[in-house]
Structure formats: structure tokens, C-alpha cells
Amino acid sequence: MEKKTIRCAIYTRKSSKEGLEQDFNSLDAQREACESYIKSQQHEGWVLIDKQYNDGGFSGGTLERPALKELFQDIEDGKVDTVVVYKIDRLTRSLMDFSKIVELFDKKSTTFVSIIQQFNTTTSMGRLTLNILLSFAQFEREVTGERIVKAISRSHYWNNLILSAKVKCNTDIQKMENFNSLAYIRKIIDLRFLCPDIVEAILAGTQPKDLSICKLFEVKTLSWQEQKKILNF
């Protein structure tokens, strides 16, 4: 009986643009390794599609990547059966984003292979590992949500004390809360000005690299939509 053809797409990513000008760079090395793996699975009907999906100079902490978006669209259009990557973190470094990706894959019956970690959702062991990772992703979402609620609630509490003149400065708050870092206190107070999406990104560590306390303070009087635009969220 003839094996069903499995159309494989290779996705490669490199965080920085350094070295991409070389004749053989990191993206090429990732692709070459993935191509070899696909060839080893030819007996299972695996075939590499011609289109390439390469993101050079893009962080794995965001899904806003041109080649990744193209890959997602081609999956939606039914053009890809299996996605092959060198390592899982080439696809994403975020468990929460990973769960979103898997949701799309499941919706279109697309499988996923990481050749270095030998992670393969075409096998029962691979699906078990996937379920464990998704459990951690759900846990991370819940913990992040709790941290946001607590941080914002606390910031409003101290803001009310400041407005009522019950405390006069950050030093007073530091003494009452027994904190050792004034910078930390300032961060908490600044949370009260911010759009919830910005707060969530800060707590998850996915905020823009050039974001600073000064920038957060400068946008405190703006609408949430204006804050996100100026801070590049």
C-alpha cells in the first residue's frame, strides 16, 4: 500500500541579524539539518515543500514574525501537513505562545517535529510530551493573571494613600511594606497608569527591549490606545 504524502515545511529563526550576510549562516545550518531529517523519513511519505520560511533578526518571544505568519497562513490554507524545526525555541520561547500555535496545528491536523529534542507529535510519546508542555502553559497563564491582579490592586492602594496624604513619598511606602528597593516601589506605582496589555507584557518579560520606567511615566496621562502606540505594543 502506497504511503500518504506528508508535505513538510521547515521553519528557521535567528534572533539577531549578525552573520546573516555570510554565505552559510545559522538559518542555512538549521535548514540543512531539517532537510536531512525529512530525507530520513521519506519511507514514511515525507516530502519537503519548495517554499522557505526564514525569520532572520526576530525574537522568539513574539509571534509577530513575517515568515512565521506566512507559515500560519499556509497551514490555514491546507498547504502544510508537518512543521519541522531545528529546536522548539526556534518556533517560540513562550509557553503561552506555544499553546496558541498548537491550537492552530490541531485545528488543521498539522503535526510538529523538533529534530534536536526528538519531539515529534506524529508519535504517541510526542503527543504525551506536548500535553505536559500545554499543562505548564496553562499554569503560566493563571499565575501571570494572578500577579497582574495583585500588582494593580496594590498600586491603587498606595495611590489612594498618596492622594490622601497618608504617605508622602516612596520612602514611606518602603518602610511600611519592608521593601529594600525604591526602584521596585516606583515600578508598582507606575502600574496604575498603564494599559492592562502593557502590564501583562512586562510581567511576562515580552515588553520592548528599550522600554524604561521614564517612558512609562511619560505616557501616564494618555489613553490606553495611545500608550500602546507610543510604546510599540
pLDDT at 153 over 60: no
Give the type of residue at 17.
K
Query: Which has the higher per-residue pLDDT, 34 or 150?
Result: 34
Nearest CA to 111 out of 7, 27, 37 is that of 7
How confident is residue 195, by pLDDT bands cut at 50, 70 and 90?
confident
Over residues 3-22, the pLDDT tens digits come to: 789 999 999 999 888 888 88
Over residues 40-75, the pLDDT tens digits come to: 999 999 999 999 999 999 988 789 999 999 999 999
Q: What is the pLDDT of residue 189?
A: 46
pLDDT at 223 over 70: yes
Q: What is the pLDDT of residue 181?
A: 42
What lies within 8 Å, CB to CB, of 134 at 6+ separation is 98, 99, 102
Q: What is the pLDDT of residue 66?
A: 96
Cell 493563571 -> residue = 142
Provide the 3-class DSSP secondary structure of residue 12: strand
Helix 95-107 to helix 124-163 angle (10° resolution) is: 130
Residue 166: Cβ within 10 Å count = 11
pLDDT at 156 over 90: no
CA–CA separation, 27 vs 19, rounded Å? 10
CA–CA separation, 56 vs 14, rounded Å? 5
| pTM as predicted | 0.56
Residue by residue, DSSP assigns 71-124 as: HHHHHHTT--SEEEESSHHHH-S-HHHHHHHHHHHHHTT-EEEETTTTEETTSH
pLDDT at 202 over 70: no
Exposed e or buried b per residue across 35-66, where buried means at least 16 C-beta atoms within 10 angstroms of its C-beta: eebbeebeeeebebbeeebbbbebebbebebe
Domains of the chain from N-terminus onward: 6-122 (3.40.50.1390), 142-230 (no CATH)
Q: What is the pLDDT of residue 185?
A: 39
